[in-house]
Amino acid sequence: MTTVDENAAGTRTSGVATRKGLDASASDIGLLVARVGFGALLVVHGTQKLFGWFSGYGLDATAGAFEGMGYDPGKFFATLAGLSEVTGGALLALGLLTPLAAAIVLGTMLNAINATWHGGFAAYESALLYAVAAVALAFAGPGRFALDAGRPWARKGFTWAAGAVLLGVVAALITLIAK
């Protein structure tokens, strides 16, 4: 949204409107809830693969399932998927290195979509939902209540988000080729 303002000298200026007050806080709280909820769910999902926590199958059973889906060696790809979900989820929950976290999650979820594609929409819909959320957070940024907020290393905006999406897609393609 563009606004036109007058400065103290009466000169008209044009610029981007800034969010103020409760609206800004509401958006940042919304991003916090989305990041923490989504990131925590990914961490849980990854620990199910790696350790069998939260009623998961654990690494050996997950490795067997990965081999059955054509990801060979299964233990390597199961470990990679679990670590990617834990790392990407934790970074998103913390609001730390958000574009990189989104890329990690997107690449992992694109492989999950590929692995479950033949089972129909019900089989891959949660992976698709995770992928969409990762892309949305890449573009929205972590918000004010994040470890990235106000830090010199923080990266946000269209270019960083587009780069994160590109990196996630390239990582997914490399994994698909290597399997």
Residue 105: pLDDT over 60: yes
How many residues are listed for the chain in this entry?
179
Q: What is the pLDDT of residue 5?
A: 45
Containing H/E element for 13? strand 12-16
pLDDT digits (tens, 9 = 90+) for 58-81: 999 999 999 999 999 999 999 999
149 has pLDDT over 60: yes
Query: Per-residue pLDDT tens for 126-143?
Result: 999 999 999 999 999 999
Q: Is position 97 within any domain?
A: yes
Q: pTM (2 decimals)? A: 0.85
| Amino acid identity, position 56 | G
State how many domains the chain has. Answer: 1
Q: Is residue 10 part of a domain?
A: no
Residue 5 belongs to a domain: no
Whether residue 2 is contained in a domain is answered as no
166 found inside a domain = yes
Measure the CA–CA gap between 41 and 53, rounded to whole angstroms: 12
Is 45 part of any domain? yes
pLDDT averaged over the chain? 90
pLDDT digits (tens, 9 = 90+) for 8-50: 445 444 444 455 666 778 999 999 999 999 999 999 999 999 9
- 16 strand-pairing partners: 2
What domain range includes position 116?
23-178
Mean pLDDT of 149-178: 93
Scanning the structure block, which residue is given the tokens 């594609």?
117
Instruction: Tell me, rounded to whole angstroms, the distance of Cα 150 from its chain centroid.
Output: 20
CB contact burial 84-97 (16+ within 10 A = b; e otherwise): bbbbbbbbbbbbbb
Please report whether residue 16 resides in a domain: no
Compare 4 and 129 and report the one with higher pLDDT. 129
Asked if the structure places residue 9 within a domain, the reply is no
- The whole-angstrom separation of Cα 165 and Cα 175 is 15
